[in-house]
Amino acid sequence: MDLTAWLSARSGIAHRSDAAAHGFSPRHVRAAIRAGEVRRVRAQWVALDSAPADLTAAAAASGRLTCVSLARRRGWWIPDRVDAGLHLQVGPNAHRHRDDATLHWGVPLVDRGARELTASVEDALAHIAVCCSHEDARVIWESAVRVEGLDLEALRLVRWRDPRSRDLAHQVVGLSDSGLETIVVVRLSGWGVPVRQQVRLAGRRVDIVVGSHLVIQIDGYAHHSSSAQRGADVAHDAELRLRGYTVLRLTYEQIMYKWQKVERTLQAAIARGLHLPPDRRS
């Protein structure tokens, strides 16, 4: 395998020590750079032109992708309103600055070594906790728990260095099917009524139950049900109503852009006792 093929199998960028460990001598690497087959990124990294821009930027800054940049790379759900810029983890004594990046300084929770261009999951979560609003951070943490299969007890045992991370570690539950579901739960958490997620009712799981009888179903941004699925949803909603439940369906647009109207609707439902069993509503 030649150097370019090896790099292609490694996201297009690698530390020169890793190249040497795989049989590509410094002389071989220098020859490839002179021939224009690969390019030099600072002293210790080589990359193909096709290498991802975020990884190349991390190498050029002697940093690692972290915060929402790592979240994006790992497929965690990020609300559209969150800054999509480059976030880099750099050491406390780093001297290289980038005007086009948010730099997260300090000693990492998990030192992954000089040959890694991505921060640990724990470090990224800690940076998200202090960089984003509480609601957005909770959304991303919940998604990370689901995507990464994180153990909640282990997450709470991490030696978090800031109170926001410690609070989030004890708040996440790993139940949300979507970021939208988390947003609704966070917004209802201070209302003084019980809020449960992924509750099985009438043979199927529902997204959120407020109190005991107010059901909220989330039809998210990518909700494009088949006619059969839509029919099953309608039939289940009807069965829940026959059993005394009130069912409200919310869309992405309603949650993200029309929340005040949604909030008024939910407050009116609670004021009428629709979150209570039918025999307690009078």
| Res 228: pLDDT | 72
Beta bridge partners of residue 46, listed in sequence order: 14, 40
Global pTM reads 0.91
- Could you tell me the maximum CA-CA distance found in the chain, to the nearest angstrom? 84
Complete edge-to-edge strand list for the sheet that includes strand 64-65? 64-65, 86-90, 101-105
Tokens of 259: 């929340």
Domain that holds residue 42: 3-50
Q: pLDDT of 33-52, one tens digit each? A: 999 999 999 899 999 999 99
* Domain end among 171, 188, 204: 171
Same domain, 70 and 159: yes
Straight-line distance from the first to the last Cα atom of the chain, in angstroms, rounded to the nearest whole number = 77
Q: pLDDT of 63-85, one tens digit each? A: 999 999 999 999 999 999 998 89
Same domain, 112 and 165: yes
| Res 22: pLDDT | 93
| Res 278: pLDDT | 92
Tokens of 105: 């300084």
Residues of the chain with pLDDT under 70: 94-97, 221-226
| Res 226: pLDDT | 67
Same domain, 235 and 268: yes
| Spatial CB neighbours of 23, under 8 Å, sequence gap ≥ 6 | none
Same domain, 130 and 213: no
Tokens of 102: 């948010």
| Res 96: pLDDT | 62
| Whole-number Å distance between alpha carbons of 170 and 86 | 28
Question: Long-range contacts: 204-210, Cβ < 8 Å, 24+?
Answer: 204/236, 206/240, 207/177, 207/181, 208/181, 208/184, 210/266, 210/269, 210/270, 210/275
Same domain, 41 and 103: no
Phi, psi of 78 (to 5 degrees): -125, 125
Q: In which residue are the tokens 């009078």 written? A: 282
Same domain, 163 and 226: no
